[in-house]
Amino acid sequence: LKLGIMASGSGSNFEAIAQAIANHDLLAQLQVMVYNNPTAKAAERADRLGIPKVLLNHREFSSREVLDAAIVDVMRDHQVDWIIMAGWMRVVTNVLIEAFPRRILNIHPSLLPSFPGANAIERTLAAGVKITGCTVHIVELEVDSGPILMQAAVPVLPDDTLETLHQRIQSQEHRIFPRAIALAAVQFGD
């Protein structure tokens, strides 16, 4: 499996995937990491892990479609066959999805279809639910929709803050994302 990562922020899921590959828990290669935010910590991780990185700053593109076309070019240049959205904070368009049909995975910090979209953990806390979690799914056009590959449940504790709950969810994200990538390759072909 030749993976291309898309990240906007910390990149801890990116690193968990790199770690799973290094441990031989996931048979794959990381071809490239695309990021849109010049200050993303994910860029430092790519340097430390020795993985090529490409900055595509969304502010320098005239539309979502033009940005996505540039992402497609980078992924193709690096022979990527599966795209992994690991904390990619931009809405993607058909330009990306049609170039990699059923070959784009995303992770979301809730048990979809509950709490899709931005600020999912804030809204989870506000709703007062007692169980939440994370979901890995195939990306379709509607945000945080598409076939679900894997989920993990996480309890919401009485004194949870955004930070403590996010941390508990992220440890499950790091566990399931590499497994979901392997499962996707089996279920949806290589």
Residues near ligand GRF (CB under 6 A) are 7, 9-14, 86-87, 107-109, 134, 170, 173
Please tell me whether 94 is known to bind a ligand: no
Select 79 or 127, whichever has its Cβ closest to ligand GRF: 127
Please tell me whether 36 is known to bind a ligand: no
Select 73 or 117, whichever has its Cβ closest to ligand GRF: 117
Please tell me whether 106 is known to bind a ligand: yes
Q: How far is CA 10 from CA 7, 40, 87, 93, 142, in A?
A: 8, 6, 8, 23, 24
Select 77 or 116, whichever has its Cβ closest to ligand GRF: 116
d(CA 70, CA 64): 10
Please tell me whether 64 is known to bind a ligand: yes
Report which residue's Cβ sits closest to ligand GRF: 87
The catalytic position among 24, 58, 108, 166 is 108
Task: Classify residue 75 as exposed, middle or buried by CB count within 10 Å of its CB (0-12, 13-18, 19+).
Answer: buried
- Residue identified by tokens 């033009």 is 66
d(CA 153, CA 158): 16
> Phi/psi of residue 29, each to 5°?
-130, 145
Shortest CB 90 distance to ligand GRF, Å: 11
Q: How far is CA 120 from CA 63, 110, 111, 115, 152, in A?
A: 25, 7, 10, 5, 15
Does residue 174 have an active-site annotation? no
Select 12 or 132, whichever has its Cβ closest to ligand GRF: 12
Residue positions annotated with a catalytic role? 108
Pick out the residues of the known binding site: 11-13, 64, 106
Pick out the residues of the known binding site for (6R)-10-formyltetrahydrofolate: 64, 106
